[in-house]
Structure 1
Amino acid sequence: MKLSGALQPPAGLAAGRRFFLVGYLPTYAAVFFVLLLCWAGARGWHAPASGGLSFTRAWTTAAALGVGEVVLLVLGVTLVAVLLAPLQTPMVRLLEGQWPRRPATEWARGRQRRRKTAWEQRAALPAAGPVPPGPPGTPPAPALTPDLVQRAGVAGTELRRRYPLPDHLVRPTALGNALAAAEDTAGRAFGYDAVVAWPRLYPLLGEQTRAVVDDRRDTVDGAARMAVTMAVTAVVAAVLLARTGWWLLLALVPLAVAWVAYRGAVQAVLAYGESLHVAFDLHRFALLRALAVRVPEDPAAERRIAAAWCDLWRQGVPLPPGFRYSADADQGSTTGGQGQP
């Protein structure tokens, strides 16, 4: 049995794509890199083996592994991946910037606010019509051209995708702000608070929509796990290579992978946020019917109904007096009397 066979997760336990992408693959990459350094002669604070690091020796050791050793390696990697699974949410929270309040945290949040302000300036259009001249030496205001409008529109779209609208929701990291933007804006136009409405809406998604949402969420989690795992691996590698001279630069390899994985996680969050918007657009009426509320006939009524339910879910505020349920709401009827707060 070859070492490359360890890349395949065991049948049954790790058959799921999510486990392989989120749990098994990052763990396997970290364990293999650390083992490679150890097989090459890295010994941490002890003096390296005779002749320094030798990756020829590492390859010879890997190729000579027996079936039993490879099986133990696979089982070990799988066990570590399973044990780390409950830590997935804390890992994402760490990358979001949910850290203790420290000067560094406030500095990072201020840096993100400045970036948000830069996007707001790009999205701002100059005033239409004649502009009064400014003080002498002031450059004239740019003309309102179609190209300028298009650039401002693109910047406005990116601003809404990358940052939450209220400044107090801005987080210290780009990934955290992209997630906050999705939570802040998904369903907002229809009166929903996505944070409390999403657990109720998700079970009602259609098969195709759910597949897209799950795929993009798995991509976010996989990239986030890879980023955290490789950052920890870089620290371990630095300890192992502490007395190997220029070989210490090998610790930059997992660090670079962690940085690329983090940037990929940010892009994956932007795509995931788009799928949340689509889910609310297409399936919010299914949520109303599941709650035995007839689909309203105008947007204002829909927003009042959604806001009332979100207040109930978020703070336990009872539905307002006069709220009416509909016995045939689950049949998909869209006409007749409406349940309104």
Structure 2
Amino acid sequence: MTEIAKGVLGGGWSLVAGWILPAAVNIALFGLFLLPDMRAFEPVDRLAQAALSQQSLVLLTAAVVLGLLFSALQTPLYRVLEGYLGWPSWAFAWGRKRQQRRLKLLRDRLDGLRLAQKESGGQLTSSEEGRLRELRADRRLAQKFAQDLFLIAPQRALLRERLRRFPLRDEQVLPTRLGNALRRMEQYGSDRYRLDSQVFWHELIAAAPEQTRQGVTTARIGVDFFVCLLYGHLILAATAVTVQATKSGFSISLSALAVVLTAFAVIWYRLAVSSTEEWAMAIRALVNLGRKPLAEAMGLELPATLHDEREMWSLLSKLSRLGYHENAAALDRFRAGEGETHSRERPAE
């Protein structure tokens, strides 16, 4: 029994809570609101006439199967929401420009708040005075700027949190909020240490401390939960529209159900974006705490300086992605136990 509990609390719990449970919620909604209107379909009619225990067993099995299916398809499901998959080029470009405008607006609002605080303390430089006048003259910022001055510290922290959901570099911006929230965590190791966590993901997971690995798995559950709810609601809304189309008369309940489910899908999307905060912090801990054991596991010694460490991870990333090249021999000076045969000093250019 103890081993079963360990298995559920380990990898199995993320599957149950992240995918099977929200699938069960969607199946329950199907049984409550759609099943009675689908009696015209023979298999559904037989299910509706079956005993309650049989109905419960069928719906439970459907929830497990649907949850497992969504889990197996999670990569393409996420990529659609991130903006990678299924987006026409014009939609991708439009969404990306929209997100870049949102990013600039957040940066300008926070910059304006910072400069307004310095102005109240009489600490503005001449260049900062010009920047503040420019921000106040921006019509796009005028209303926001006036409101932001009355924000208290926790509200300003939430504004900074929204900014942190974007990648640091503008060229990494994607056309969706979820895509940007996930992209910033994917780029954390590369932006700070030149450690590509996407390339070395499995190595990082294998080398990092157990508690850190478990933290990443647990932190992702919330995002998976809302993503699964979102897709399930969209499928139910599409089913409601299809059933409505097959009926001879107009059904207010089916139309209202499709609208309500679509509205809730938007809410689940926003909650999925908000839930990435915990996941991002777990990824940050994985990179920060897993770098040293990863270097040791790869037969390398973590350099004393950040500059050298960035060079080491860059060389290792190139070796993994591009294959061996004679320039990869520069990695030798970072190998553990090679200090007597290889100089740790940067070679003269």
Aligned counterparts of 1:322 and 1:78: Cα–Cα separation in 2:
48
Query: Which of 179, 182, 185 is matched with 1:182 structurally?
Result: 185
8 Å contact from structure 1 (residues 26, 226) kept in 2: yes
TM superposition score normalised by structure 1: 0.74
Residue pairs, 1:1-341, within 5 angstroms? 16-41=12-37, 65-98=51-84, 99-124=86-111, 125-126=114-115, 128-130=124-126, 154=157, 157-158=160-161, 161-242=164-245, 243-247=249-253, 248-316=255-323, 318=325, 319-321=328-330, 323-324=332-333, 325-327=335-337
Measured against aligned partners, the alpha-carbon deviations of 1:14-54 in whole angstroms (never above 9, x if no partner) come to x9222222332232222222232344335689xxxxxxxxx
Q: Give the Å deviation of 1:327.
A: 4.0
User: Which residue of structure 2 aligns with residue 334 of structure 1?
Assistant: none
Aligned counterparts of 1:123 and 1:169: Cα–Cα separation in 2:
21
Q: Secondary structure at the match of 1:233?
A: helix
Aligned counterparts of 1:138 and 1:175: Cα–Cα separation in 2:
31
Aligned counterparts of 2:215 and 2:227: Cα–Cα separation in 1:
18
Root-mean-square deviation over aligned CA pairs: 3.9
8 Å contact from structure 1 (residues 179, 269) kept in 2: yes
Deviates most, 280-289 or 152-161: 152-161
Q: Which amino acid is the alignment partner of residue 207 of structure 1? A: E
Q: Secondary structure at the match of 2:332?
A: coil
Aligned counterparts of 2:336 and 2:228: Cα–Cα separation in 1:
45
> Measured at CA, do residues 138 and 203 of structure 1 come closer, stay the same or move farther in structure 2, by a change above 3 Å?
closer
TM superposition score normalised by structure 2: 0.73
Measured against aligned partners, the alpha-carbon deviations of 1:92-116 in whole angstroms (never above 9, x if no partner) come to 1111111333433322221111101
> Measured at CA, do residues 38 and 164 of structure 1 come closer, stay the same or move farther in structure 2, by a change above 3 Å?
closer
> Measured at CA, do residues 193 and 157 of structure 1 come closer, stay the same or move farther in structure 2, by a change above 3 Å?
farther
Aligned counterparts of 2:26 and 2:173: Cα–Cα separation in 1:
32
Aligned counterparts of 2:224 and 2:36: Cα–Cα separation in 1:
32
> Measured at CA, do residues 157 and 320 of structure 1 come closer, stay the same or move farther in structure 2, by a change above 3 Å?
farther
Aligned counterparts of 1:272 and 1:84: Cα–Cα separation in 2:
20
Q: Give the Å deviation of 1:233.
A: 1.3
Q: Whose helix proportion is higher, 1 or 2? A: 2
Q: Give the Å deviation of 1:207.
A: 1.8
Q: Which amino acid is the alignment partner of residue 269 of structure 1? A: T
Aligned counterparts of 1:23 and 1:190: Cα–Cα separation in 2:
33
**How many positions carry a matched residue from both structures?**
302
**Runs of at least 5 residues in structure 1 that lack an aligned partner in the other structure:** 1-10, 46-57, 330-336
Q: Give the Å deviation of 1:284.
A: 0.6
8 Å contact from structure 1 (residues 323, 340) kept in 2: no
8 Å contact from structure 2 (residues 227, 269) kept in 1: yes
Identity %: 26
Q: Secondary structure at the match of 1:16?
A: helix
Deviates most, 213-222 or 189-198: 189-198
**Runs of at least 5 residues in structure 2 that lack an aligned partner in the other structure:** 1-6, 42-46, 119-123, 138-144
Q: Give the Å deviation of 1:132.
A: 9.7
